[in-house]
Structure 1
């Protein structure tokens, strides 16, 4: 009887109320199937193992505790498997804690010939970003088509987020420099031969040159989805990263005045009759006096409330405030990208930490953020036919990446122009029901 009772306790309940819809991703998974994989010797297994069965309720025995312990141990064994680099495809990068530096031979010549010159920002003399901290002497692979910057000696320099991303996915092997470990540099290279662990890379790169965990989470998430992502001019919080508009706005100039005499008076009279101006609501009717040839003139006079025009260039754009500032330029996987001449980005993104900024951004903050982006009006055949698509797209748009403890939510903020959509000028479109047909008689 005791064995039967224990077996009953171990089996899941048959009660319908106990089987509640549960998201399996929120529960502890059974990783014991990883024990059946031979990581080191068996190379014939081409498919991933399936998940095991899962109990939906706890019981007072140690049966489930043993299962969880074995599952955790299997997970730790799988994570402790050493990741190896094939000698033919191995890419080695060297950490440079002081930023971009020239080659040893070129550096010696610079110290001899340019001792009297003032110091310049790191990286400006060799043509790479001054925040770069890892260089790859012999780059290989498709990732370097959109990552890194090459200097005069064909070394590719990586930013902290780029180096950490490649190291995390196992594409790059970062080595400590000889200056950090104190080894002898006999061959004239900075490679000490000591690899940098992932924990050491997080400690060295995270927090360097404005890189935060929130920005890195957004960067890695979009990179894994196939997007090309680069830094925007507003990356550093201490600098103003407002962008200038790509196309200058042309101010429409009004006529200064009319000539004196009978011709000028007659021209003013015709303009008052056929081109009615703004209505005066202080005295008389709102529509005003005059001859109205169409309903458009009447509706135009009824629009007495000024509306916002996003195409008008502001007199003095307000400065943006962190974190409501564009920090990433994003390109779709289908967009042709060239590192030497990046095209106009498909998306502009700002990263917000939900834990430190718990309130909704104000209208002034969003307005300054939108004004820092260039004008991007809704154009195209589809946009010209659909009103709601034009309003949703807007004339300026920014994506807010709100990060809450690693969970990223993307919000699109657009600057729409409701006043530019004249509903009275749109033609009434009939439905797709076809012409009128008489109802058949009978039945």
Structure 2
């Protein structure tokens, strides 16, 4: 009997805490308290939640990291980095260190932002001490216990513009596998994405500029030649005699109300957007499938604004315009590839491949691309409804209501660019 009880207690002690499964209630609360079965089900669910909170968190010593919190610079210096978290978290910063002869030199070290350090402390993956002067490599290297979760929240929240709502959004997205970084670098050593180029990310070279000049010249020449010979479209000819006589300008002049995001919204106030507006981009977010490099992060998939739902109002038109003014335009979604119907053979490929094209023809195609006929498999035009649904610019607003996070995506569409609608 004693042996069986010992085995049973040892087995119970090694079981890891399990988060209870949550779902929809099977009944509505009754005025009189409900039946005995309903009370029993509620008590059992409540007890399971308390058991999960009462369980001790355990972590292997092989995956525990150690760090030191410096309130003066609002950073955690990671002395021992273990685990997979540091592949997307933390950055290298040069800090002055004192040598034995009294001189100081710059030495790079791994540092965590306040939200990154708090996230690892809450997970139990980081043991952090507050502002100690020691070469920390383990629990036995320093007197005293590390910071608790409660002390970490009291010490870290409020540093470097970190509010409780912004940390809750950061922790929620990190648990889902997303990579979250700051949009505005808090220090010069913090890595940021490269600036977006106007030509879609391709740097302008000498040959590219020369090709664009020849392409523009040849396009104007072809348009002039075709326009003078096409007698069924008189605007092609009259636009050279009268100003603004193209089809786009004529349809634009017929509009009663001006459209387009280039038209600034009218406001009677001098500054329609208050300086203390909460709608400012704070986080860059990357999908888990993104090839993310911590030293050179790519362009983010989404940019997030975090607001407190209890104090922030619905964003006004001027606040949304201010947000969209700093965002780049995204290309329209590609049309879906439709395969050939069953029983229909695809057309044969061209006999002449680019590798067998003569040098003169390749030079001619490079200098005068507009005079060449379009390829047989030209890219399809994107669907207008899909492009309007996706929008040209997108922003995600995370509204936090006492811990409950709701994400709203706002997009900027351009209806005037699709005259077929």
Pair in the same fold by TM > 0.5: yes
**Deviations 1:351-405 (CA, angstroms, capped at 9, x unpaired):** 12111113x2221111011001122232534593311111122222111112222
Q: CA RMSD in A?
A: 4.9
Distance in 1 between residues matched to 2:135 and 2:251, nearest whole Å: 84
Aligned position for 2:352: none
Equivalent-residue separation in structure 2 for 1:355 and 1:48 (angstroms) = 29
In our comparison, the structure showing a higher alpha carbon Rg is 1
More strand by share: 2
Out of 381, 387, 395, the position equivalent to 1:398 is 395
Distance 1:39 1:272, change over 3 A: farther
Give the drift of 1:150: 2.6
- 1:413 equivalent to 2:410? Answer yes
Counterparts of 1:187 and 1:89, CA distance in 2: 16
More RCO (CA 8 Å, sep 6+): 2
Measure, in 1, the Cα distance between the counterparts of 2:324 and 2:382. Answer: 25
Q: Tell me which residue corresponds to 2:343.
A: none
Q: 1:81 to 1:39 in 2, by over 3 A?
A: farther
**Alignment of 1:352 onto 2:304:** no
- TM-score, reference length from structure 2: 0.60
Match of residue 156 from structure 1: 110
| Alignment gaps of 5+ in structure 2 | 1-7, 95-106, 188-193, 201-208, 210-227, 265-270, 337-379
Aligned to 2:359: none
Indicate conservation of the 8 Å contact 2:68/2:132, yes or no. no
- CA drift of 1:162 comes to 0.7
> Is 1:226 matched with 2:171?
no
Which of 279, 284, 296 aligns to 1:341? It is 296
Q: Is the 8 A contact 1:218 1:401 kept in 2?
A: yes
SS of 1:423 mapped into structure 2: coil
Question: 1:42-92 CA deviation, whole Å, 9 max, x = no partner?
Answer: 446898777999886555999998997787666545423332332222212
Aligned to 1:374: 328
CA contact (8 A) 1:350 1:399 kept: yes
Pair 214,302 (structure 1): closer, same or farther in 2 beyond 3 Å: same
Q: Return the match for 1:274 from 214, 224, 236.
A: 236
Distance 2:155 2:282 in 1: 21
Q: After TM superposition, give the deviation of residue 156 of structure 1 in Å.
A: 2.1
- Specify which of 61, 65, 70 is matched with residue 91 of structure 1: 65
Q: Closer, same or farther in 2 for the Cα pair 1:94/1:302, shift >3 Å?
A: same
Moved more, 318-327 or 44-53: 44-53
TM-fit CA distance, 1:229: 0.6
Question: Does the CA contact (< 8 Å) of 2:178 and 2:285 recur in 1?
Answer: yes
Q: 1:205 to 1:275 in 2, by over 3 A?
A: farther
Partner of 1:389: 386
Of stretches 68-77 and 333-342 in structure 1, the one that deviates more from structure 2 is 68-77
Q: Which residue of 2 aligns with 1:330?
A: 285
